[in-house]
Amino acid sequence: MFSKILIANRGEIACRIIRTVRRLGIASAAVYSDADRAAMHVALADEAFRIGPAPARASYLDGAKIIDAAQKSRAQAIHPGYGFLSESAEFAESCATAGVVFIGPPAAAIRAMGDKAQAKTLMEKAGVPLVPGYHGGDQDPALLSRKALALGYPVLIKPLAGGGGKGMKIVARAGDFADQLASAKREALSAFGDGRVLIEKYLSRTRHVEVQIFADSQQNCVHLFDRDCSIQRRHQKIIEEAPAPDISGELRLAMREAALSAARAIGYVGAGTMEFLLSPGAFFFLEMNTRLQVEHPVTEMITGIDLVEWQVHVATGGALPLRQEEIRSLGHAIEARLYAEDPPRDFLPQSGQIAHLDLPAQGAQLRIDAGVHAGDVIPDDYDPMIAKLVVWDKDRRGAIRCLRAALAETRVAGVATNLDFLRAIAAHQAFEAPPPDTGFIERHRDDLLVRRPPAGHDVLAVAVVGLLCERAAFGREKAQRSNDPWSPWNSQNGWRLNEHAQETLCLREILPGGCGDRHVEVNYLRDGWRIDLLGGTFFHASGTLAPDGTLAADLDDRRVNAVWVRSGEEILVFVGAEAAHRFLQAGPSAGAARRDEPAGRLTSPMPGRIAALLVAPGAKVEANQPVLVLEAMKMEHLLTAPRSGIVKEFKFQLGDHVAEGVELASFETRPPPDGAS
C-alpha cells in the first residue's frame, strides 16, 4: 500500500479523492495554481505545492511540474482525477520514468482509446457497432467537408482527443461547416493540445448510456452496471442516473458484454467507461473514457463500492476485490451537477465570488461532492462546477423525490447558477416518465427556462425587513465605535426632528426580462416597523438577521424564515424553496443591474481570452453578425454585433485576456443610402 499519494487535480474531485485516501490511512499531497491558493482541496490535503499561474497549460496541464511536486512530497503515486492529464499517455509514461505510479490504465490503453479514430478502428474490428462517420487521419478541411456532405446533414464534429463535450459542434447545413470546423479545432487545441477532429452522422432522439468497467493486472475484468447520461446541454452532462432506466434485459446484457470485450482487447487496467449511443433496439459505440467519470458517484451509490479505493488497490498490483457475480446493484441513484452558469444566456459560464452557499445535509440517501465554500471564488480558467448532489432511493420515482427535496434545500448567491434549471428538470413530467434522450433540454426548453414572476408581497416585505435589520446592526456597530454611542445622530430608526419617524425606500427588483421598481413606506415603531407596500398592503413587522444570513421575519402574527444575503450591490432573498429574488436599493448604483449597453458597444459577458477576430476593422456588419470569439471556461463563445454598422476598432488583440464588462469593440452607425431622409 502507498504511504502518500499526490492528487494532480483540483475542485470537488480532488477533495473526493483526498477523503478516500485519508480513510485508507494514506497521506495526501495536493497541487494548486495561483488561482487556487485558498481552494478547499488545498486546505483538505496534508500538504500542497504551487505549480504555476492560473492558466491550466501553465499549471494543471504541466506534467513536469506535477511530477516534480510528487518527488518533492515523496509520494509514491499520482492520482490524476478526471480532466487535465488523466487521459494523457505521455504523462502516464513520464510518471513511470520518474518512478511514480500512475493511478490509471497503462499508457498503451490510454493511447489506444484516447484517440477516438484509433478507438473506432479497434471497435470496428471487434464487431462493436459504430455511428456512421469519418475518423481517418487526413485532416484536410476540403476532405472533411466532402465526408460531411456524403454522410448527409446534420453532422457532428468531434475532437479526436479529450472529452466533456469540449469542441463538439452540431452542423445543420453545409454552409456552416467551415466556420464550425475552425471553431471545433481551436477549442480542441486549447483544451487538449490536439486540434484533430472526426466527423459523424448526427443521430437525433438517441440516449447516452455508458457502462462502468473495472480491470486489474491479473486479467480480471468486471462491469459495475450502467448509467444514463442523456440530459445534456452543450454536449455536457448535467443529470446522470444509475442504472439506466427502461432498457430491455437483452440490450443491456449486449452493451455490458461489448464493454468487457473492448476492455480485455486492449489489456485495460483500472476504472474505465464505455459510452454508447442508444436508439430503439440498437446501440453504437461512442467512445471510451480511460479514467474515473464525473458521474461515478451514482455507480457507487447503487453498488456500495468506493471506486477510488479500488483504483488505489489495483494500482498496487492487487486483484479486484469482488468477482462479477458478487457485485450487486441496489436501488436507483441520480446525480445533478450544480454549475456557475446562466441558463437563459445559453448556459454562459460564470465566475466570481460565492457570497452564500447552503447545501443540504448528507445522509444515507444524499451525498454531496463539493469543492468550494461560501466566500470562495469561481475562477474563469477552469470548469465552473460548484457541487454534485447525488441521491439514492429504492426505485427511480423515490430517487426523483429525493432529488427534488435536495435541490429545494440548496441556495447559492453571488454568481448565477443552473439551480433553478435543475429544479425545473426534476419537476418536469417528461423527466419522470423515462426514457429521457439527448434532445430533452432542447425539446422542453420553454418549460425549463420559465421566467419567474415579480416577488410577491411577502417576499418584498422580507427583503425590506432584512435591509432594516442590516442597517440597524450597522448603526449599532458604528455607535459603539463613536465617542457618544447614545447620540441621536447615530440612530438608525428613522428619527427626524419634528417629523414622523418614517421613510420611503425603493427596491429595484432584477428580473430576467428587466427591472422593476418597488416603492415601500417604512414607519418606525417602538417594537419594529410598519411596512406599507403602497398598494393597500401593509405589515406590522420585526425581525432578526444572523451573520450567516439567516433571517427570522415576523409579518403581523406570522414568522417567515428566510435567507437574506448581500452580494456587492445586490440583495438576494431566499424564501422557502423559491429561487433567489434579487434586488438593488435604488440609487446611483441601481443601473448596474440593468445590464444595458449603450448603442454601438460590444462588451465582454464574462472574463476570457480573445480566441478569434472574425472581421477586420472598417468592415460593414449586420446586427447579430458574429464578429469575434471569446474563449472562457474551456469553451468558445461567439459574440455578435450589437447593431448594423461599421466596426470602428477592436479594443484588444488576438490572445489578450479580458475582464467581464470591458468594451471589446466599437461600432459606427452605417450612413443611410443616398437619397434617404
pLDDT digits (tens, 9 = 90+) for 600-637: 678 887 778 898 999 999 999 988 888 998 887 666 77
CA–CA dist 243, 253 (Å, integer): 13
Q: Which of these, 216, 350, 189, 319, lies nearest to 272 by C-alpha position? A: 216
Residue range 569-593: average pLDDT? Answer: 71
Query: Residues 308, 433: one domain?
Result: yes
Cross-strand pairs, 528: 525
Query: Backbone phi, then psi, for 467, in 5-degree steps?
Result: -65, -40
CA–CA dist 431, 440 (Å, integer): 8
Q: What residues contact 76, with CB distance under 8 A and at least 6 apart?
A: 2, 3, 4, 5, 100, 101
pLDDT at 673: 55
pLDDT at 14: 98
pLDDT digits (tens, 9 = 90+) for 61-110: 999 999 999 999 999 999 999 999 999 999 999 999 999 999 999 999 99
Given a contact cutoff of 8 angstroms between Cβ atoms, the answer to whether 197 and 145 are in contact is no
Query: Residues 370, 303: one domain?
Result: yes
Q: Residue 528 above 50 pLDDT?
A: yes
pLDDT digits (tens, 9 = 90+) for 288-304: 999 999 999 999 999 99
| Sequence letter at residue 78 | I
**Among 542, 563, 592, residue at a domain's last position:** 592
DSSP one-letter string for 252-267: HHHHHHHHHHHHHHTT
Q: Residue 265 above 90 pLDDT?
A: no
CA–CA dist 217, 42 (Å, integer): 32
Residue range 32-45: average pLDDT? Answer: 97
pLDDT digits (tens, 9 = 90+) for 317-352: 999 999 999 999 999 999 999 999 999 888 988 888
Provide the b/e sequence for 248-261 (b: ≥16 CB within 10 Å): eeebbebbbebbbe
Q: Residue 235 above 60 pLDDT?
A: yes
Residue range 551-574: average pLDDT? Answer: 91
Whole-Å CA distances, 544 to 471, 538, 560: 12, 19, 11
CATH number reported for the structural domain that contains residue 171 in this entry: 3.30.1490.20
The answer to whether residue 81 is domain-embedded is yes
Query: Residues 431, 302: one domain?
Result: yes
Q: What residues contact 121, with CB distance under 8 A and at least 6 apart?
A: 135
Q: Which of these, 274, 280, 227, 243, lies nearest to 128 by C-alpha position? A: 274
Q: Whole-number mean pLDDT of the chain?
A: 89
CATH number reported for the structural domain that contains residue 27 in this entry: 3.40.50.20
pLDDT at 487: 62
pLDDT at 579: 80
The answer to whether residue 209 is domain-embedded is no
DSSP one-letter string for 120-137: HHHHHHTT--B-SEE--S
CA–CA dist 237, 208 (Å, integer): 10
**Among 592, 619, 636, residue at a domain's last position:** 592
Q: Residue 591: which pLDDT band, with cuts at 50, 70 and 90?
A: very low
CATH number reported for the structural domain that contains residue 356 in this entry: 3.30.470.20
Only one residue has cell 520514468, namely 97
Only one residue has cell 490524476, namely 80
| Sequence letter at residue 124 | E
The answer to whether residue 572 is domain-embedded is yes
pLDDT digits (tens, 9 = 90+) for 473-482: 888 877 776 6
pLDDT at 275: 94
Q: What residues contact 210, with CB distance under 8 A and at least 6 apart?
A: 226, 227, 229, 273, 274, 275, 276, 293
Only one residue has cell 426534476, namely 426
Q: Residue 57: which pLDDT band, with cuts at 50, 70 and 90?
A: very high
Give the count of beta carbons closer than 10 Å to the beta carbon of residue 30: 28
Ramachandran sector of residue 205 (left: φ over 0; alpha: ψ -120 to 50; beta: rest) = left
Catalogue the active-site residues: 291
Query: Residues 403, 492: one domain?
Result: no
The answer to whether residue 208 is domain-embedded is no
pTM greater than 0.95: no
Given a contact cutoff of 8 angstroms between Cβ atoms, the answer to whether 169 and 157 are in contact is yes
Give the count of beta carbons closer than 10 Å to the beta carbon of residue 494: 17
The answer to whether residue 504 is domain-embedded is yes
Q: Residue 589: which pLDDT band, with cuts at 50, 70 and 90?
A: very low
Measured over all CA atoms, what is the biggest interatomic distance in the chain, rounded to whole angstroms? 92
| Sequence letter at residue 205 | R
Query: Residues 619, 558: one domain?
Result: no
Residue range 396-404: average pLDDT? Answer: 98
Q: What residues contact 96, with CB distance under 8 A and at least 6 apart?
A: 102, 107
Query: Residues 421, 482: one domain?
Result: no
CATH number reported for the structural domain that contains residue 636 in this entry: 2.40.50.100
C-alpha cell at 257: 458484454
Query: Residues 551, 639: one domain?
Result: no
Query: Residues 467, 580: one domain?
Result: yes
Query: Backbone phi, then psi, for 347, in 5-degree steps?
Result: 60, 35
The answer to whether residue 315 is domain-embedded is yes
The answer to whether residue 466 is domain-embedded is yes
Highest mean pLDDT among 258-262, 552-556, 579-583: 552-556
CA–CA dist 19, 33 (Å, integer): 21
pLDDT at 475: 81
Query: Residues 587, 607: one domain?
Result: no
Which of 104-108, 271-275, 354-358, 661-665 shows the lowest mean pLDDT across its residues? 661-665
- In angstroms and rounded to an integer, the radius of gyration of the C-alpha atoms of the chain is 28
Residue range 269-278: average pLDDT? Answer: 95
| Sequence letter at residue 559 | R
Query: Residues 157, 236: one domain?
Result: no
Domain that holds residue 179: 132-201
Q: Please state the domain count of the chain.
A: 5
pLDDT at 590: 35
Higher-confidence residue of 451 and 334: namely 334
| DSSP summary character for residue 363 | B
Cross-strand pairs, 12: none
Query: Backbone phi, then psi, for 367, in 5-degree steps?
Result: -125, 135
C-alpha cell at 187: 477549442
* H-helix segments, 409-455: 419-427, 429-432, 440-443, 445-448
**Among 420, 448, 476, residue at a domain's last position:** 448
Helices 63-73 and 89-97: crossing angle in degrees, nearest 10, is 30
Query: Residues 172, 250: one domain?
Result: no
Cis peptide bond prior to 154, omega within 30° of 0: yes
Query: Residues 80, 146: one domain?
Result: no
pLDDT digits (tens, 9 = 90+) for 480-505: 766 666 565 555 555 555 455 888 89
Q: Which of these, 290, 251, 252, lies nearest to 273 by C-alpha position? A: 290
Rounded to 10 degrees, the C-alpha dihedral 121/87/290/66 comes to 160
The answer to whether residue 46 is domain-embedded is yes
| Sequence letter at residue 213 | I
CA–CA dist 119, 125 (Å, integer): 10
Burial of 672 (0-12, 13-18, 19+ CB in 10 A): exposed
Whole-Å CA distances, 581 to 50, 511, 617, 634: 39, 8, 42, 30
pLDDT at 217: 96
Q: Residue 198 above 60 pLDDT?
A: yes
